[in-house]
Structure 1
């Protein structure tokens, strides 16, 4: 699948990171009692791949992204990126949430620049802000404020704020979940384009089975909490994809079957 992506984007240099999870389990404390979230999860993702995670709400998918981002650490097992155990958060691994969480008093340009400003390199890297704004299609809106943006535009700002750090691993936690259906369809195409142009590794958490199949090369299906991987579905289709492709319908039926929803299709 990675070879297919490279063939389709021959001019793109793959900069993405390798991911390896080995026997990862995780739990939280809830009112003094352990709450298991992940149970012995193991998988690998090759550099430059685009992989999605689907499963029941609350099964631990977002927790897994937080482990990869370094925001939490597993109770058991190892989480490795490029062969090194994940420690603290790092600009090479960026997590994009469902809510854009833009600062309302900062312009689009200033919101995108936030990461570089925090690292103390904004003066020498201003061009990266301009490039990121252009990459997400917001040229001309640099001086706009969040209240002047649509939901889709605000999410583009959030993506630009992530991309300005030149990440090698992009973690997407339901980034399109709050958008209207038409804007969501448009943004799906934008995310694929950004992934192809940047050459990074991307992991997407979504509750939309069709979105997972349409965007990514591989779909990991999780069972109920504490989550285990119940299926690993390869989406061996070229880009751009067409929603009416019979193969997508076949894969959707397969994915819904693993989720116990085969009767709905």
Structure 2
């Protein structure tokens, strides 16, 4: 690594241009409540006119219609800005998570299950979008609307306000009791969804192979069992949320009935009663939304825990500065399990790293390539630990993102070579049949080069390595040593690139190598540091 690991943090809500929406959305909620309040007073005036055997005035009707249209328009705008705010925060969180993953050690990322990591970018981001897009704004709006609606009800008729208060308070207490434990249900549900997602992602790619092993029925039975448990828990969660939403309605129904009963007994004017019922409806809106807000908050809390757990892992982005010439390497006390590696590789040399199975050859290659970092020891490039020179690592897993053949061959290369240079290099490494099959460089290559054969996938990586003109190249590919044209392929690489090249392979590959690092020759000694890298 070229930098010290840093502690990443979750993005803040009030940054990246989100302040405007964060202020506007609660303001829109207040404006909507005001419009509904104006409508409530207009309703009172209309009922008063009707009670006096008259008709509402045109001005009164205009206010009623205007208040309704205004409230509806504000609702549309509020939802638009809420979605924009939630999407903006989700984008920032996605950026932070991917940036952190990119800076982590390759072996640590590889140790994590792909399904679990992908859930960070799907379900957890949806939870973040829901909470910051709608939840936060609703809470802020409710903090203004609830006391304002209560004040309006009191100003309309203190007696009606006093009668409506006890049922509403009882419903709030019931909501509080039901809200306890909802986060645990979300945590359990997320774990079950993650388990199913991970299992499916592991099995989808090998489903035909599992079928050949006569395991399909067993896998389907396990999927059905997990799905049944997930369904029961999901229904239990949504039932609790439904009860949370129902309680304010129940409280409002009791409060409304009490207001009507008291109005009849105390002789409250019908207009005031109608307006009071309208305000009661306004009062219940944020109370009902509290149920959904709490559900969103619990989902976000669980997602936040997982995001912070990932962000707590060490991560440091690699700082690469191309040198434009072969770079010499010096390894001093580099920990590799119980061994300490000391070696020196001159600039432009062809070196071989070999050793018995499990000795750590591939791990040493990843350390040299900058994909991993050692807890101690020294690794110098032309006498410097940082920045990294331009290093190309070729492994058994093809680095290919679904896209055109041209994009695959020039991934990470700036400036991009011209079409003729790309075609010339591709033909040199034997990719002419693939180019013909794909109708040229614009033909599409699948994810991880799955649409190409293993031999073609190797040649894709080697062609890109030649085009990138690295300062150091590390080749750790078993598929290379099993290729009948390995000598010709390595010869093309040596001819087309001017770099220090490290091969990781069997002792038989030592022919014509300038430096040989045989890990079997390094003594095994107890590690003084418990953090030494595993072999």
| TM-score interval for Structure 1 and Structure 2 normalised by the shorter chain | 0.5 to 0.7
Aligned equivalents of 2:357, 2:391: Cα separation in 1: 24
1:151 Cα shift? 2.0
Matches within 5 A, 1:114-153: 114-116=411-413, 121-122=415-416, 125-126=417-418, 129-130=422-423, 132-139=425-432, 141=435, 142=441, 143=443, 145=445, 146-147=449-450, 149-153=452-456
Take 2:426 and 2:339, find their aligned partners in 1: how far apart are those partners? 40
Task: Indicate whether 1:157 and 2:460 are aligned.
Answer: yes
1:185 aligns with 2:488: no
Quote the Cα distance in structure 1 between the aligned partners of 2:423 and 2:370: 28
Name the CA shift for 1:95/1:180 in 2 (closer, same or farther; >3 Å).
Answer: closer
CA–CA distance in structure 1, aligned partners of residues 357 and 522 of structure 2: 9
Is the 2:340–2:522 contact (alpha carbons within 8 Å) kept by the matching residues of 1? no
What are the Cα deviations for residues 106-131 of structure 1, in whole angstroms up to 9, with x where unaligned?
A: 23222012212xx5x44xx4456445
Residues 59 and 226, structure 1, Cα contact 8 Å, conserved in 2: no
The residue that corresponds to 1:17 in the other structure is 327
Q: Displacement, 1:149?
A: 3.3
Higher helix share: 2
Q: Which runs of 5+ in 1 are unaligned?
A: 1-13, 27-36, 229-265
Root mean square deviation, CA, Å: 3.0
- The alpha carbon displacement at 1:226 in A equals 8.5
447, 454, 469: which one pairs with 1:166?
469
- Contact 1:56–1:224 (Cα < 8 Å) also in 2: no
- TM-score, L = length of structure 1: 0.62
Give the Cα separation in 2 of the matches to 1:76 and 1:190.
36
The answer to whether the aligner puts 1:83 opposite 2:383 as a matched pair is yes
Instruction: Say whether the 8 Å CA contact 2:462–2:493 is kept in structure 1.
Output: no
Contact 2:345 2:515 in 1 (8 A): no
Residue 98 of structure 1 corresponds to which residue in structure 2?
Answer: 396
Deviation of residue 215 (structure 1)?
5.6
| Match in the other structure for 1:111 | 408
Greater strand content = 1
| 2:498 equivalent to 1:199 | yes
SS in structure 2 at match of 1:160: helix
Go from structure 1 to structure 2 and tell me whether the alpha carbon gap of 1:149 and 1:226 turns closer, same or farther (over 3 Å shift).
farther
Preserved contact between residue 136 and residue 190 of structure 1 (Cα < 8 Å): yes
Q: 1:78 to 1:102 in 2, by over 3 A?
A: same
TM alignment of 1:234-249, pairs within 5 A: none
Out of 361, 384, 387, the position equivalent to 1:61 is: 361
Alpha-carbon distance, 1:154 to partner:
1.4
Deviates more, 1:79-88 or 1:40-49: 79-88
- Between the aligned partners of 1:197 and 1:180, the Cα distance in structure 2 is 20
Unaligned runs of 5+ in 2: 1-323, 436-440, 526-535
* Aligned with residue 341 of structure 2, among 29, 32, 41: 41
Greater RCO structure (CA 8 Å; 6+ sep)? 1
